[in-house]
Structure formats: structure tokens, C-alpha cells
Amino acid sequence: MFACLIAPSDSAECPEKYPLPYFDNSAALFAPLAGNSWSVFLDSGHPLSSQGRFDIIASDPVCTLQTFGTQTLIDKHGQRSVSGDDPFQLLKAELGAPKTGFDDLPFNGGAIGYFSYDLARRIEKLPALACDAEQIADMAIGIYAWAVIVDHQQQQSWLVGDIAPDQLPALLTRFSQLNTTEIGDNTFQVISTPQSSLDQDAYAAAFDRIKHYLLEGDCYQVNLTQRFSCQCQGNPWLAYQVLRKINAAPFSAYLNLPDVQILSSSPERFLQVDQHRVETKPIKGTRRRSSDPRTDLQQIEDLKTSPKDRAEHLMIVDLLRNDIGKACKAGSVRVPKLFAVESYATVHHLVSTITGELADNENAVDLLRSCFPGGSITGAPKIRAMEIIEELEPYRRGVYCGSIGYIGFDGNMDTNIAIRTLIHNQNTIRFWAGGGIVNDSVMADEYQECFDKAAALLRLLQQFSV
């Protein structure tokens, strides 16, 4: 089946769909592109994770949008312009009205990139107290005319998009074989010990401040995180290949952007739109995994039955129901799964599924803006929780707790919550870990939960330590 889309050049073109050989490890397929600026890999974690289905590989965007504060730099076919307009509206304009795509594939060309946590400053008025260490874009999005889609369920691969005839032979050749030749720098080293932005005393002071706000009725829950950072050198793509082995997750990604490389092994879906059906799957509630099977099963049971975790989780479910309801048809929001447990390499998580039907006058970008950032990583009520986060966390979160994913020309979308995510720039690698604080939270338990969530990332850095 072929279907027409409007290409980024605004010329009416029809995307094509070309079969490619199937390879079960898409990381090897992406490797030759990993060193190219604006090359992106949305990774299901296959074959080490069976929870995802599709991988998406793209490069050579025809347009890029980078938002810094109140300005968005747009580079379209080599022509640069700057706009002070709402970045979400600028993205909507580049995507155009949704067009019919291939129903059996998740992406037929469109936008891929990240929306940082701090992009919320373009939606809400928030204090500016924390230090911006990374100095990277608040939003970085490429508009991609073509992509490679790998379907691990059907064991099929496709090249899709609006592809110029003179580009097609090279693209088909490039993705019809695995290139095992090393590309660029083939070393990566961590050259300092990871340091936290909050030692235990500082974390305890922030925790106590949150407890004060809870007792005063300012909020019901606040997500408090600490940032880890260390010096490094070499090629972060090598680190990502190890990360996906030790912490395979269904909403992983590697983005090589002009000023930053992003290595994400997120287990959490933020928002999906598939043929107007909306889904979000908030995570709230964690238990450390055990190597002993009996203890591991007991950890699951403890998580399922914990009154604290269930209450904390329900707050976020209610917040997300309200958020997606802003862009969904009245009466369409449902919770088909509540308090399910999903297990990953180092932790068990409490996860719920919330669904809705996108309203006729809304699209995926509208939905993303109305829900941004995800409530599972702020607290409730959202805006007051974010004000407290800005007061207590010494560094801006940047990409962490923002969102990575795609929005297609066909109107479909899938995005993650950017947790379990490392940010590499300035010869430094940084990542964050934290959790929700409520009235009956215990400081020592919450502090330990940060390290439970950070375990795989700390282990990754240890493997590259010199």
C-alpha cells in the first residue's frame, strides 16, 4: 500500500516502502552512522529485551529545530532563521497536517529528537534558580525524510520515506549489510569517579524541606533527584553499546546531536498516539532486584501490596488522566491496567496504562504540549512540585525527565520519559536518579532508591573506568 504525505519541502510526494534484509541487532546496523551529527537510533533493546517491537534509524534531516531559551534556530535546506514563537507550534508547522501513512509501520518520516525537561519554561512560568551545566538546546528535533524501520516481531526491515531517486541505491546498499568496520574513535574511558550533586546530608536537607511543604499543604508529592557526573574521553557510542546489553529497555535511544550525545535506556513510555488512540504508561514505585529467585518474587509482592507505593502511584495516575484528558475526547480516558509490575535488569517497577481517544481538533504535538513534562517525574500538583524541584536541585535537569521519541508526518507519536539516561558533552558524562517523596517517605529508603535506579548506569561507568 502506498499513501501520500506532504514532504518537508511542501511538495506533494508519495513515500515509498522498500524491503531490507532483517538483522536482529539494529545497533550493528546503526553503527556506521553513529558518528554522524543528527543521526538517531530509537532502540527497542532487542534482542536482550522482548518488551519492545520496532527500532527506528534515521540520519541526514532536511530540517532541524533547536530551541535555546526564547529563541528557536531553524535550519531548513541550509537556510537558517530564528523565531521567538512557541517551539511546539513551530514543530507543528514543519510537520504540517497529518497525512495517511503505512498502517503496519510506526513511522513513515517526520520528527525525531528530544524535548528537555526545561522546555516547560516555554509553557509555564517557573523560577530560574538551578545551574545549567550542559548548555545544550531545550529542544532539538530533526525532520527526517527517510528512516529504516526494523520490526522484530515480524522479523522484517524496511526503508521508508520520500527518497530522491539518486539517493535510493546508496541507502539500500548501506542498510542491506552489516558493516563491522570501526568508525572513528574506538575508545571510551571514564577518567574520574562519579560525583553526586547531593551528598547524603544535602539530600536529607532537601528531603526535610519537601516534608515541610507536604505538611503545609503545598503539594502531595515531589520528585527529588540527584545528579551524578564524571569526566570522560573518547566515543560515547561504545558506552551505549554496553549500556543496551546491561540495561536493555523498550524505550532506549542514542542521539548524536551537534553539541551532545544522549544515551538513554528508559523503561517508561510517556505518550503514544496510534491512529488517534492515546496511551501513557507512568512508572511510580520501585524495588531492587535480587539474584535469589525467592527474594526477587518477594520484592514483586512487596511492591504490589505496598500501601505507600500504591498511594504514590495513584496520585500520578490521576495527574496523567487529567493531563491527557485536555487533548482527548470527553469520556474517552480509561485505565485498563492499574498497579501492574514490570521487571527490568536491576529493578521492578509499578506501572499503569492509561488510554484515551484524541479529540478531533487536537493532534500529537498538542497532546505533548498539554502533558509536558510527564507527571511521573514531577509530583503533584505539577507546577508547585516543579517550583520546589527548582529550589532544591542545584542543577537543571536538561534532557533528563524530558522526552525522546518521534512524531510522524502521519500524526502518530511515541515518546519516552528520559530516565536512566546519560548526557555526554564537554568531555563529561552526567545522569540523574531520584524518586517521589510523600508524607510517609523515609529519608534513608528514598536515598537508597536513587542508587537502586542508578545501579546499571554506575556499573556501566565502572566498566570504562581507568
Q: Are 55 and 43 in contact (CB under 8 A)?
A: yes
Residue 92: φ, ψ to 5°: -55, -40
Cα–Cα distance measured from residue 160 to residue 144, given in angstroms and rounded to the nearest whole number: 11
Listed residue (247, 280, 250, 443) closest to 364, CA to CA? 280
* The C-alpha cell that represents 376 in the structure block: 511521573
Coil/strand/helix, residue 203? helix
Task: Count CA atoms closer than 13 A to 295's CA, side-chain side.
Answer: 7
Q: Are 438 and 312 in contact (CB under 8 A)?
A: yes
Q: Strand runs (DSSP E) across 358-402, as ranges? A: 379-380
Residue 291 pairs with which residues in a beta bridge? none
**How big is the chain, counted in residues?**
466
Among 99, 281, 284, 382, which one carries the catalytic annotation?
Answer: 284
Among 134, 268, 312, 393, which one carries the catalytic annotation?
Answer: 268
Tell how far CA 114 is from the center of its chain.
Answer: 7
CB-based burial label for 231 (10 Å; 0-12, 13-18, 19+) = middle
Q: Are 22 and 155 in contact (CB under 8 A)?
A: yes
- 134-144 in b/e form (b: 16+ CB < 10 A) is bebbbbbbbbb
The one-character DSSP state at 374 is P
CB-based burial label for 170 (10 Å; 0-12, 13-18, 19+) = exposed
Cα–Cα distance measured from residue 188 to residue 236, given in angstroms and rounded to the nearest whole number: 6
Cα–Cα distance measured from residue 408 to residue 62, given in angstroms and rounded to the nearest whole number: 14
**Start-to-end C-alpha separation, the chain:** 53
Cα–Cα distance measured from residue 269 to residue 417, given in angstroms and rounded to the nearest whole number: 6
Find the largest Cα–Cα distance for the chain: 66
Tell me whether residue 124 is one of the annotated catalytic residues. no
Q: Are 368 and 321 in contact (CB under 8 A)?
A: no
Listed residue (238, 237, 235, 227) closest to 197, CA to CA? 227
* Ordered alpha helix ranges (H), 72-115: 87-95
Tell me whether residue 449 is one of the annotated catalytic residues. no
Q: Which residue has the cell 532506549?
A: 252
The residues assigned a catalytic role are: 268, 284
